[in-house]
Structure 1
Amino acid sequence: MRSARLPEGSRLLRIAGTVTHVRREGSGPVCVLSGGLGCAWFDWDEVARLLAPHRTVVRFDRPGYGLSAAAAGPATLAGEAERIRQLLDGLGLFEPCVLVGHSLAAFHAEAFARLYPARTAAVLLVDGSVEPRARARPLPGARVATALGLAGAARLLALPYLLGPPGRRLVVRLATARGRDPAPRALVRRCYRSARALRAALLENTCYLDQAAELLSLRRELPLTAPVALLAAGSAFGRPAARDGRPGPGARRRLDRQARLAAELGGALHTVAPAGHLLMLDQPAAVAEAVLKF
């Protein structure tokens, strides 16, 4: 990974002991874009292009994703918030920033805002994960060992190399209204043929509810003082399930949960359509506009 040429504007920083791919562009107030489980920095390309004339845009790959090295172990919510802080410190960016978190990374953005209020200007949750009654799952060591074992077996069978890029394209087709992956195929092959990405996804998935439970504890202990906004996708898989064009039952349940989260956090909720869960691919202008309103 280190010997491969980095994209223009990218650099590698050692964050929390892991070599981390970071991209900084633009000028002005700082905003950080963080994607959900399985996402890479280039999923924010169009959002970053729209924001760069007005903001200093920071993107990064969590361990195992994109061009970042694999993590030494499973992530915690506090650890992910600390990763963002160290990343900003490494770039020499100490002013309050806007945190943009998609899906699972919505947990990280909110946690950062609660743990580091002086470093937070605002929070934007982009079709963020919602787990209002989460509890940490038992046997974390066994779960992590199982995830690592599955990742190792898949690597020996060359499954990431064979199935990683087509698997990525299938997920994007299902989770967007556009139904296609705009990412360059060469980048998708470079990032998703590696067993690192599968390993990272399995680890994040097995620790997902643990991080959600951590966030519920933080909500009880620390206030959220920064302004908050939420963007919700108008449908679960890119297209409404009902024939009349309105969201189907599954999408309505997701939107109800987003509305309850917005009320709990005191933030404004905006439904964006047509858009699937990968809202930043379907509606990058809506994401950029929401950032610029802060």
Structure 2
Amino acid sequence: MRRLLRTLGALVLLAAAALLLATTTQAVASARDRAALQQPGRLVEGGGHRLHLLEQGKRSGAPSLVLLHGAGSSSAQWGWLGAMLAERHHVVAVDRAGLGFSEPGESAAAEVAVEELRTALRRAGIAPPWLLVGHSLGGLHARLLEARHPGEVAGLVLLDAPAPAFFERLSPAARESQRSFRARAQWLPALSRLGILRLLDPLEAVAAPLPSAAAAALRAFSVDAGHQLAAAAELAEIDAASASFRALRDVAPPAAPVLRISRGAPDDEFTRVQQALDREATAAVRGATHRVIPGATHFSLVTEAHHARAVAEAITGWLARSLR
């Protein structure tokens, strides 16, 4: 019995030592990653913590384009599209609290993120009205900001962003798939601390087509425990954010011009529902525009150069027609 207890005790100590080694190695590697990354923008007070803002292009009298990234992502995802839009416009890409280069915040609620964004933009001297370009969850934030402060938004570009009825339109199996994904995502901070995500390199394929600096940043953040903690909190808020989104049906349609851009691939239920709802929402608002980018996936709309160029041309052409 004593021998068994000694063996169990040794195994516990060995496991504890392995756990300590794994977490220490990951912490050192993350610190090294952070040190190697060059912060491209500046940190601006956004409400008790600082948000990272990356400005590109020249400021002019025209409204600035504010790029809002997808769930759990960062401004690095705009490596192609930000530069392309900056050829003709003043562009600002923002990292939400705790994500990318931004400092951690106290809440991942969409309503809080919207107000932090407004604060940071104003303190950076970037006055409204703004043209909001939101990808995925960033589209929800753009729509919320416009609904709360319509006079501050000159236009909305909703880039493969979920419509109010998106989750309701999905089949039970698809809805369960989404819930399961969000549940699994809550384990990512722990897996990151143990270094397991670093071994898996989950965003390698997604990040690869981006410019090298943006790809390196996106991959580094995807295995960073702090970033994953904020990403998990944001994903946990999706149901509440979706409820806020659905509540927007009770307010007037956007007063600002709207461009909706949908992915063209793959040919699955999620893509078909997204396109159908974008078409319906466009038809319901006078002057709204809808574009589908053939062959583009949810991610490649921004990560692959040729798809990002198609998106940039769609936005630039729409702006020339809508804001003249």
1:257 matched to 2:257 = no
- In the alignment, the residues of structure 2 paired with residue 8 and residue 206 of structure 1 have an alpha-carbon distance, to the nearest angstrom, of 28
Residues 42 and 149 of structure 1, relative CA distance in 2, 3 Å threshold: closer
Q: Answer with 188-197 or 90-99: which moved more.
A: 188-197
2:194 is matched with which residue: 149, 157, 182? 157
1:49-128 residue pairs with structure 2 within 5 A?
49-73=83-107, 75-128=108-161
1:228 matched to 2:258 = yes
1:38-49 residue pairs with structure 2 within 5 A?
38-49=72-83
Amino acid at match of 1:22: L
Task: Indicate if the aligned counterparts of 1:66 and 1:191 stay in contact, CA closer than 8 A.
Answer: yes
Which structure: larger Rg? 2
Residues 23 and 249 of structure 1, relative CA distance in 2, 3 Å threshold: closer
Whose helix proportion is higher, 1 or 2?
Answer: 2
Residues 206 and 248 of structure 1, relative CA distance in 2, 3 Å threshold: closer
How many angstroms does 1:253 deviate by? 3.0
How many angstroms does 1:154 deviate by? 2.9
2:303 is matched with which residue: 267, 281, 284? 281
Task: Indicate if the aligned counterparts of 1:69 and 1:196 stay in contact, CA closer than 8 A.
Answer: no
Per-residue CA distance 1:78-136 (angstroms, 9 max, x = gap): 2122122112102111131110000011100111111121211100000112341769x
Residues 37 and 269 of structure 1, relative CA distance in 2, 3 Å threshold: same
How many angstroms does 1:148 deviate by? 10
How many angstroms does 1:217 deviate by? 1.9
Q: Structure 2: 5+ residue runs without aligned partners?
A: 1-30, 169-182, 320-324
Q: How high is the TM-score relative to the length of structure 1?
A: 0.79
Task: Indicate if the aligned counterparts of 2:73 and 2:231 stay in contact, CA closer than 8 A.
Answer: no
Structure 1 counterpart SS, 2:161: coil
1:20 matched to 2:51 = yes
Residues 110 and 149 of structure 1, relative CA distance in 2, 3 Å threshold: closer
Amino acid at match of 1:58: V
Task: Indicate if the aligned counterparts of 1:134 and 1:213 stay in contact, CA closer than 8 A.
Answer: no
Structure 2 counterpart SS, 1:65: coil
RMSD of aligned Cα (Å)? 2.7
- In the alignment, the residues of structure 1 paired with residue 238 and residue 93 of structure 2 have an alpha-carbon distance, to the nearest angstrom, of 22
1:127-276 residue pairs with structure 2 within 5 A?
127-132=160-165, 150=187, 153-163=190-200, 166-170=201-205, 172=206, 180-184=208-212, 186-221=216-251, 223-236=253-266, 247-248=267-268, 250-266=270-286, 267-276=288-297
